[in-house]
Structure 1
């Protein structure tokens, strides 16, 4: 590479780094104290009414309104809810060892494929919050497994089958509302 093209590349790199730094500064200045958390009001904590004993897969009461993903900590179940309030799909999940607090969040990032904190290759990662420094979101193991995580490791992955991971990936884009109920 010639001396002038090296200088040109260095200049472009400096401009790119400055732009990324500026954008990071803007993002941090407008970011909430708890990434992904959108509402801390008591009604948003989605307090749960008694379970529907006749229909245990029924959408939890007080889980919000509009299009959203609802995740029940107690039931280890997810509901994908359309804007009309109709449940598009519901399915069981396997939680990680670190749970999100009940409340309303938004999807903050998505990754097509990566290795999970437990060392398992995962896909369709949909992150909506963090707790104790651990990212929390939905994912599917590439091998299709959903075993209970090692309790000695801090993991925030809420595992679902690959088929359900595909559905979640299509439904839950960036800024999609996620409501966590007890």
Structure 2
């Protein structure tokens, strides 16, 4: 009888472990790619807008076809960001200096933030807003911190030997991004 109850207990334990494994797999399969921390290389973005048309009379105007609702719109080709409120009105737009790794066009979400860290290029940065990774290179917005009383503003990371997904903003623009782009806010990347 002792062998039978040990077999029943072992069978129940195996069934419970199997059920937990199935539930864990189902949960991980339903996490949006932008929130699961995995590289997006080799996978298509959730939404892949084509190159958004530009208004030649107003080059800082929000490109049509860049979505609706509250969002950050980032144009890889124009090196420009728009902070768009829920009313679809632009609250702020500014130029940025990207690193040497660009995100794919698509729709992402802010996944993590850091108030102050050292960037992959070795510069002290603040107000870091991360939203994806490309080939294990994290991509996000940041501003170079003040260095001996002088604001370095945005500094391009192009030409570096290290791969960096840093999209640099001035400190004032970094402050605005930090206030606007909290965890879960949508980031729309366009060409």
When the two structures are superposed, what TM-score results if normalisation uses the length of structure 1? 0.78
Query: Is it true that 1:134 corresponds to 2:112 in the alignment?
Result: no
Q: Which has the larger radius of gyration?
A: 2
Partner Cα separation in structure 2 for residue 126 and residue 33 of structure 1: 17
Q: Give the Cα–Cα distance (whole angstroms) in 2 for the partners of residues 152 and 92 of structure 1.
A: 24
Q: How does 1:35-114 map to 2 (within 5 A)?
A: 35=35, 40=45, 44-114=47-117
Query: Aligned partners of 1:68 and 1:137: how far apart in 2?
Result: 15
Q: What is the number of equivalent residue pairs in this alignment?
A: 154
Give the one of 164, 176, 184 matched to 1:155: 164
CA contact (8 A) 2:126 2:144 kept: yes
Distance 1:68 1:34 in 2: 15
**1:35 touches 1:130 (CA, 8 Å); kept in 2?**
no
TM-score (norm 2): 0.74
Could you tell me how far 1:114 is from its partner in structure 2?
0.3
Could you report, residue by residue, the CA deviation over 1:79-108 in whole angstroms, capped at 9, with x for unpaired residues?
000001000000000001100000000000
| DSSP-derived class of the 1:80 partner | strand
- The 8 Å contact of residues 104 and 180 in structure 1, kept in 2 or not, is answered as yes
Name the residue aligned to 2:184: 175
RMSD (CA atoms): 2.1
Cα distance in 2 for residues equivalent to 1:115 and 1:47: 34
Give ranges in structure 2 of 5+ residues lacking alignment.
1-23
Is the contact between residue 98 and residue 131 of structure 1 (CA under 8 Å) also seen in structure 2?
yes
Change (3 A) 1:177 1:34: closer
